[in-house]
Amino acid sequence: MCGFAGVLLNSNDTTFSNEYLQAIKEANNFINHRGPDEEGHYFDPSIALGFRRLSIIDIDGGQQPFSFNNERYWLVFNGEIYNYISLREQLQEKGYHFYTSSDTEVLATLFLEKGVNAFSELRGMFAIIIWDREEKKLYGARDSFGIKPFYYTENKHDLIFASEKKSISFLMQQEVVELQALQHYLSFQYVPDPMTLTKDVKKLEPGL
């Protein structure tokens, strides 16, 4: 199943305190059930990424966060790319070499080849984060049917994102009910995207 939790600082004037980094690690542990096989972290002055892995494809070579292009990019990815073998073959024909048999490396290589257009080539279920350390840009994508979860909240200090809302709530340290979402839930037993029952926490809409 797998899952991720992370924080992007919204200002170059702020830094991660040791206490905040420890809290992010704890937020990642909140989703241990999504990935009991392996834990991974990546920190730099702008971003902190945590990942929990359920090992299925390439047990030895599919660790995350996954770095590529000389560690310019860092990727965390929850899901499965069904057409990764055919994509891999297409990329090999273009001269790319692969060092693992994971769909994660195929995703990373496709991003190098096509940028954000890579996401439209994917067939499967996925929630993806790619951090460009050089340009300081964060890319997020979710499958077209919204099978894999992707939650986020943003304020003037940081952007918090995770596979489950509980990780975000832990880092926010407070929860306020979104009354409009509650009205939808009580009326229809459903909360429409991008809202959640927690104020200021949203779901990334499918296909974005």
Q: Distance between CA 131 and CA 80 in Å, rounded?
A: 20
Element (H, E) at 188: helix 179-188
Report how far apart the first and last C-alpha atoms of the chain are (Å, whole number): 20
3-state DSSP call for residue 39?
strand
- Structure tokens given for 135: 């340009």
Q: Which of 2, 8, 127, 141 is catalytic?
A: 2
CB 158 within 8 A of CB 152: no
Active site residue 2: yes
**Phi first, then psi: what are they for 23, rounded to 5°?**
-65, -40
- Rounded to the nearest angstrom, the gap between the alpha carbon of residue 162 and the centroid of all alpha carbons in its chain is 6
Tell which residue, 86, 67, 180, has the closest CA to residue 134: 67
Helix 103-114 / helix 84-93 crossing angle, nearest 10 deg? 50
**Phi first, then psi: what are they for 154, rounded to 5°?**
-140, 140
Q: Which residues are designated catalytic?
A: 2
